[in-house]
């Protein structure tokens, strides 16, 4: 039985690993196999967005979950407006757009409500009162159960914590990107949960490690790490911390050891990949000594360069 955790103070109870649906692809048969594997292994939390594959991802996820709708938590996101821009999308957190976009998402998902609706980003210039008003009205109208924000911008997050009843913040969080740790006390104070995306750091924290490094990472490194520092850190984790655990396991269990983390949502483009991640989170949690060692082997990354 997969352990479930509460999101914020809401009545949303999610499996400690969810499925980040962005990497499912557009082959519906293949995507449904992955979703079915998730369901069979106790995953009840599925995260999509209207932006993924220009809405096709929501359609596939909705179709794959239609027979178990009442047993699952479906999360989607809003704010990136693509239906009127030919070469990409533009940011639109207006009340009018949020209230219209949710109906398009409901239609693609073929559901009556979305369990967790998230603002897909945010800037300090946004009229955030208007965005929050939209989410609050959608809750009252029954189109959504709860709402949150997906952002790594501290000042944007801070405003939502202070002025809304948001239940979650989706943040990129991994052993190689420890920026959210700076904000965990504040999030806990507001009883808001973290949904941890990118827990495997683009595959660098999987057992394939640097073989997953892109040309850009080889040239520029990854966040606070130069490529040489990345080699050193990953080598140290492998040699000093992974006697009895896989890299996947260390990475996912590291995030789950934090009190405020409700769920980790690695993506999966195959059932094999998904099963590896499920096996990793079903192993015993990290001991205090293991956690301390992993903290010592990695950098305490800060948001200093990302204050907007």
Question: Looking at the annotation, which residues are catalytic?
Answer: 52
Contact indicator for 48, 115 with CB cutoff of 8 Å: no
Nearest one of 96, 91, 97, 240 to 151, comparing CA atoms: 91
20 within 8 A of 47, measured Cβ to Cβ: yes
CB-CB contact of 87 with 54 (8 Å): no
What is the sign, positive or negative, of the torsion defined by CA atoms of 57, 60, 63, 69?
negative
Distance spanning both ends of the chain, measured CA to CA: 41
- Cα R_g (the chain), whole angstroms: 19
User: What is the rounded distance in angstroms from the CA atom of residue 268 to the CA atom of residue 272?
Assistant: 8
Q: Which tokens is 113 given?
A: 């409500």
Q: Which two tokens stand for residue 220?
A: 């520029």
């Amino acid at each position: 039985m997969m352990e479930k955790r509460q999101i914020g103070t809401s009545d949303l109870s999610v499996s400690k690993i969810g499925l980040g649906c962005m990497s499912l692809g557009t082959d519906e048969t293949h995507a449904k196999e992955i979703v079915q594997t998730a369901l069979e292994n106790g995953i009840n939390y599925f995260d999509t967005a209207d932006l993924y594959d220009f809405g096709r991802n929501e359609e596939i996820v909705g179709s794959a979950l239609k027979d178990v709708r009442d047993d699952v938590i479906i999360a989607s996101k809003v704010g990136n407006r693509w239906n009127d821009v030919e070469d990409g999308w533009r940011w639109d957190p207006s009340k009018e757009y949020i209230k219209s976009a949710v109906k398009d998402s409901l239609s693609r998902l073929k559901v009556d409500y979305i369990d967790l609706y998230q603002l897909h980003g945010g800037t300090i210039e946004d009229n955030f009162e208007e965005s929050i008003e939209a989410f609050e009205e959608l809750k009252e109208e029954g189109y959504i159960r709860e709402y949150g924000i997906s952002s790594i911008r501290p000042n944007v997050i801070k405003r939502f914590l202070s002025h809304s009843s948001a239940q979650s913040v989706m943040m990129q969080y991994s052993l190689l990107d420890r920026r959210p740790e700076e904000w965990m006390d504040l999030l806990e104070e507001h009883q808001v949960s973290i949904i941890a995306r990118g827990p495997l750091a683009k595959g660098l924290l999987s057992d394939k490690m640097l073989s997953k490094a892109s040309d850009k990472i080889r040239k520029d490194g990854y966040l606070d790490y130069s490529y040489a520092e990345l080699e050193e850190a990953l080598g140290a984790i492998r040699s000093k911390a992974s006697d009895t655990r896989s890299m996947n396991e260390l990475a996912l269990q590291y995030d789950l050891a934090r009190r405020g983390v409700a769920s980790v949502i690695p993506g999966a483009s195959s059932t094999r990949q998904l099963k590896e991640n499920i096996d990793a989170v079903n192993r015993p949690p990290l001991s205090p000594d293991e956690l301390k060692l992993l903290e010592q082997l990695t950098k305490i990354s800060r948001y200093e360069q990302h204050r907007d």
